[in-house]
Amino acid sequence: MHPFGLIALLQFLWEHEIPSLFVLVALGLLLSVVFLCYRNQTCQDAPATLPHFTLSHIASFMKQRHDFLAWGFKVTNQRLFQFRLLRNNVVVVSGEQGRKDFFNAKGLDIHEAFAILTGDLPLLYGVTTERRRQLVAKMYKRLSNVQRNERLTDLIPEVLNDCRRHLQSWEKAGSLDPFEKIYELTFQATVRCLTCTEIADEPKLVARCKQLFEQVERGITPATVLFPWFPSPSMVMRARATKQLYDIIVNTMKVRKQSGVPRNDTLQIFLDSEDELATVMGFMMGFVTAGSRTTGTSASWLFIYLGCHPKWRHEARAEVKKLITSHSLETVSECNSNSPPRDSSSTALSSIPLSAWENETPVLDTLIREAIRLSQAYVASRRNIGPDMYIDGKVIPTGALVVYPVADVHLDPTLYPDPWKFDPARPQPKCNLTYLGWGGGRTTCIGSRLARLNIKLIAALLLVDFDFDTVDVSGGIVDSPPKPNWNDPVTCRPAQGQVFLKYKRLDNPEPPSS
Ligand code: HEM
């Protein structure tokens, strides 16, 4: 009790005649928090508990997650430790055995953990959990439809054309914030691939959706996670933005159905399959949020690193030019008269087949892999849906949240010497589960094919049409990239204003070298 100064508080309330009902409610809440916070595991096999529990553990987990988890391992000097996130017990895992157990465990559920950590309303077991499982299964099936060869082949020219349109709005030369402008490109690409033509074709509507998605994202705060039932201002903002996105999507569906004209897009896949609205909404809201951010962050960092490393920039550009030379010339001549002008790089890139984008870009693949290792500060999260289980010899009770910070491998100097260095040529560790950029074990990214393709298309267009350097706020060339901030798990963005891309449009792009 001491840390809360309960006696002093009571005295203050008494002296100031604060209404007694209010006092009772407040005390009730306070005591429940204290009870939940001090209810520790006493079993011998339980993971170590963080010392000196204070509410600041919760605040640090929510706001400074990377530093907090590193601190937890240090003070407990254990590979696993636990703490309380109010009503949830959280077990934090590290080390080789823990990693294997975590990623291969059957009873650990990603969706339930995700729901808790994004502040969804608590689940009613057997009712909402089962319904969620069915919805998720349907959404995943549709995502695999979107990533079929034929659909991805159709998407290549569409995404390139969207990017070209965006890039035309850039000045001939200037300086830009990659976390805004590169993210804009990936957002447009994600909307094109995962929603519908009516939205993707309308730049103003895309910009509006981007704003609303950002509000939904900002609406996930410590308050919404800790008190999902409480209508905090951020919760209200999130609900309002979600409703507006819902209206946009529902309206588009209505107009499409009324027109009776089918389109070649993701919405049509849902309409043709007569999927229920909840599946369409879950898919579009969930995957656009998750897909655009992860793709945007990876692409933004890829460009920061390319801007700092002329050698890699030149190698990547040479690879793209080689692709154009090998694949595009014969097909460009077959284009019909509706195609964009022949000299446009997006036209040349459009005629490169999907298989070449996927199998003939070893340099881009390596660059993306290394950029993701350094810029995806994710903490894999699961909930033990039962029964009790063991990870690295420690018991994980049913209902516990279990988290594994990927920093444990991606920043481990024994696996990746000089781990903060961007070094695409570094030898890759051979052991299983030592690269988790796309997940591992039972949970791997099911949008990775789309994400990789979009990053490559955007990178190719920028490499062919622009030259760029990474600069600081005063325009000085930065040759050693800033350190990603792993406490910002969404973008890893360094301190505001620290990094920009200075770019110049190549008016006469060199003809591809033969
Ligand atoms: C560069 C972009 C991306 C990166 C780096 C990335 C990374 C990851 C990682 C590391 C996981 C595993 C998470 C865990 O173990 O807790 C994951 C899972 C997932 N990703 Fe991605 N992702 C990307 C893009 C996308 C896109 C574009 C989509 C959807 C269109 C998507 C959909 C998913 C889904 C649905 C899962 C969960 C899979 C499951 O339940 O088994 N991701 N992703």
Residue pLDDT, tens place only, 462-514: 999 999 999 999 999 998 999 999 999 899 999 777 899 999 999 755 444 43
Whether 249 shows a pLDDT value over 50: the answer reads yes
Least confident of 52-56, 241-245, 355-359, 382-386: 52-56
Mean pLDDT of 293-304: 97
The pLDDT, as a whole number, for residue 120 is: 64
Instruction: Decide: 291 in ligand 1 pocket, CB within 6 A.
Output: yes
Q: How far apart, in whole angstroms, are the C-alpha atoms of residue 446 and residue 290? A: 11
The pLDDT, as a whole number, for residue 4 is: 37
How does DSSP classify residue 384? E
Closest residue by Cα to residue 195 from 275, 261, 279, 265? 265
Bridge partners (DSSP) listed for residue 390? 395
Residue 332 tokens read as 């460009």
pLDDT bin (cut points 50, 70, 90) of residue 28 is low
Whether 124 shows a pLDDT value over 60: the answer reads no
Residue 381 tokens read as 């999260």
Instruction: Decide: 447 in ligand 1 pocket, CB within 6 A.
Output: yes
> Sheet containing 466-471: which strands, arranged edge to edge?
173-176, 500-505, 466-471
The pLDDT, as a whole number, for residue 40 is: 46
The pLDDT, as a whole number, for residue 338 is: 44
The pLDDT, as a whole number, for residue 222 is: 74
For a pocket test of ligand 1, which of 99, 144, 294 has the largest count of ligand atoms closer than 8 A to its C-beta? 294
Q: How far apart, in whole angstroms, are the C-alpha atoms of residue 494 and residue 369? A: 20
Mean pLDDT of 434-446: 97
Give residue-wise pLDDT tens across range 416-435. Answer: 999 999 999 999 999 999 99
Mean pLDDT of 268-290: 93
Mean pLDDT of 275-287: 93
The Å distance, Cα 343 to ligand 1 centre, comes to 36
Atom of ligand 1 nearest to the CA of 299: 1
The Å distance, Cα 27 to ligand 1 centre, comes to 43
pLDDT bin (cut points 50, 70, 90) of residue 394 is very high
Q: Are 81 and 47 in contact (CB under 8 A)?
A: yes
For residue 6, give the amino acid letter: L
The pLDDT, as a whole number, for residue 15 is: 53
The Å distance, Cα 96 to ligand 1 centre, comes to 22
The pLDDT, as a whole number, for residue 17 is: 52
- The alpha-helical segments, DSSP class H, found in 232-382 are 233-259, 266-272, 277-308, 310-332, 345-350, 354-359, 362-375
Domain boundaries, the chain: 1-38, 128-505
Whether 447 shows a pLDDT value over 70: the answer reads yes
Q: How far apart, in whole angstroms, are the C-alpha atoms of residue 344 and residue 253? A: 34
Give residue-wise pLDDT tens across range 151-186. Answer: 999 999 999 999 999 999 999 999 999 999 999 999
Counting every residue written for the chain, the total comes to: 514
Instruction: Decide: 450 in ligand 1 pocket, CB within 6 A.
Output: yes
Atom of ligand 1 nearest to the CA of 193: 30
The percent of residues above 70 in pLDDT, for the chain, comes to 84
Atom of ligand 1 nearest to the CA of 298: 1
445 labelled as ligand-binding?
yes
The pLDDT, as a whole number, for residue 233 is: 82
CATH class of the 128-505 domain in this structure? mainly alpha
The Å distance, Cα 212 to ligand 1 centre, comes to 21
Query: By alpha-carbon position, which residue is closest to atom 42 of ligand 1?
Result: 447
Atom of ligand 1 nearest to the CA of 146: 30
Beta carbons within 10 angstroms of residue 227's beta carbon: 13
Query: By alpha-carbon position, which residue is closest to atom 36 of ligand 1?
Result: 445
Whether 27 shows a pLDDT value over 70: the answer reads no
Residue 478 tokens read as 């930065």
The pLDDT, as a whole number, for residue 302 is: 98
Give residue-wise pLDDT tens across range 310-333. Answer: 999 999 999 999 999 999 755 444
Instruction: Decide: 285 in ligand 1 pocket, CB within 6 A.
Output: no
Whether 121 shows a pLDDT value over 70: the answer reads no
Whether 414 shows a pLDDT value over 90: the answer reads yes
Q: Which helix (H) or strand (E) holds 56?
A: helix 55-63
